[in-house]
């Protein structure tokens, strides 16, 4: 599977401009299977969702479906949405035929007050696309390995993020840890630029199941990094090195 990780700057609370900007970049890209955008790519990491949240399954989702169909590509990223009177940081994974999966961020970033404005999801979401089973995760989820522990049910994790420069070493380290401990590919897509509270330098990367870099975006700049994952190579490695079979048995009690 060929994947583009789109490391963009995000204009603060300007969804139309951000969608247009992303589409302009996507139009210049080669044909691939999947394009991944950052967390809250239409607004930035905004803690006043009443100002920017979209109704569920409307503006940005329809835009993603249009892009997916036009380009024959899957497209992924998270958006602030209002659904049933609650706000969610919602990850959309949209396939070329317009079908889609959603994941509501489970681990809300209390340090910024996200837990006071958004409702937490409680479902672990895996989507299958072109023979690849993909676990959907958002930013702060990266710090909680139990929730994302591979039960033999996925091949790649996607983390979309607004992860600030001041904590970027944690981002770099934890992405590698998640790849190694779960014997899976990891795509981490972060933004660049500034919002009213933080600066961001990227760190967007695609890792293999040993934590080795397949491709990385250039830090501090908007750019698209294109890399390939091979599921057969992953399966062969898991058969030769069956560490997942030795994992501790447990269950999560909410």
Query: Domains (ranges, CATH) in the chain?
Result: 2-246 (3.60.110.10)
Residues marked active site are found at 39, 105, 139
Residue entry with tokens 């500034």: 194
Q: φ, ψ for residue 236 (rounded to 5)?
A: -60, -40
Encode 79-103 in three state secondary structure: EEEEECCEEEEEEEEECCCCCEEEE
Give the pLDDT band of residue 217 (cuts 50, 70, 90). very high
Contact 217, 168 (CB under 8 A): no
Residue entry with tokens 């489970």: 106
pLDDT the model gives residue 119: 98
Q: Does 71 have pLDDT greater than 80?
A: yes
pLDDT the model gives residue 246: 93
Give the pLDDT band of residue 254 (cuts 50, 70, 90). low
pLDDT the model gives residue 251: 72
Q: What is the pLDDT of residues 89-102, one digit of tens each?
A: 999 999 999 999 99
Q: Residue 114 CA to chain centroid, in angstroms?
A: 17
Q: What is the pLDDT of residues 175-214, one digit of tens each?
A: 999 999 999 999 999 999 999 999 999 999 999 999 999 9
Residue entry with tokens 């933004």: 191
pLDDT the model gives residue 250: 75
Q: Does 14 have pLDDT greater than 80?
A: yes
Q: Does 105 have pLDDT greater than 90?
A: yes
Q: How high does pLDDT run on average in the chain? A: 97
Residue 126 CA to residue 154 CA, distance in Å, equals 7
Single out the residue of 90, 40, 23, 69 nearest to residue 193, CA to CA. 40
Q: Does 252 have pLDDT greater than 90?
A: no
Q: Does 58 have pLDDT greater than 70?
A: yes
Q: Does 57 have pLDDT greater than 90?
A: no
pLDDT the model gives residue 253: 64
Q: What is the mean pLDDT of residues 221-249?
A: 96
């Amino acid at each position: 599977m060929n994947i583009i990780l789109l490391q963009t700057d995000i204009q603060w609370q300007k969804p139309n401009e951000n969608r247009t900007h992303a589409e302009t970049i996507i139009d210049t890209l080669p044909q691939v299977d999947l394009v991944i955008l950052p967390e809250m790519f239409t607004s930035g990491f905004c803690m006043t969702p009443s100002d920017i949240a979209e109704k569920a399954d409307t503006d940005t989702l329809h835009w993603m479906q249009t892009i997916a169909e036009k380009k024959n590509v899957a497209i992924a990223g998270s958006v602030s949405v209002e659904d049933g009177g609650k706000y969610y940081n919602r990850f959309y994974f949209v396939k070329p035929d317009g079908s889609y999966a959603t994941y509501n961020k489970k681990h809300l970033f209390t340090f910024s007050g996200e837990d006071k404005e958004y409702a937490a999801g409680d479902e672990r979401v895996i989507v299958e696309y072109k023979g690849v089973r993909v676990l959907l995760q958002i930013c702060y989820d990266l710090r909680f390995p139990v929730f994302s522990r591979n039960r033999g049910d996925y091949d790649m994790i996607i983390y979309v993020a607004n992860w600030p420069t001041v904590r970027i070493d944690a981002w770099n380290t934890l992405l590698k840890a998640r790849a190694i401990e779960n014997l899976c590919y990891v795509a981490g897509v972060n933004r660049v630029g500034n919002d009213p509270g933080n600066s961001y330098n990227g760190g967007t990367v695609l890792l293999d199941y040993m934590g080795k870099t397949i491709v990385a975006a250039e830090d501090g700049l908007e750019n698209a990094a294109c890399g390939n994952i091979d599921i057969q190579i992953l399966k062969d490695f898991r058969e030769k090195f069956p560490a997942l079979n030795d994992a501790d048995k447990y269950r999560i009690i909410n």
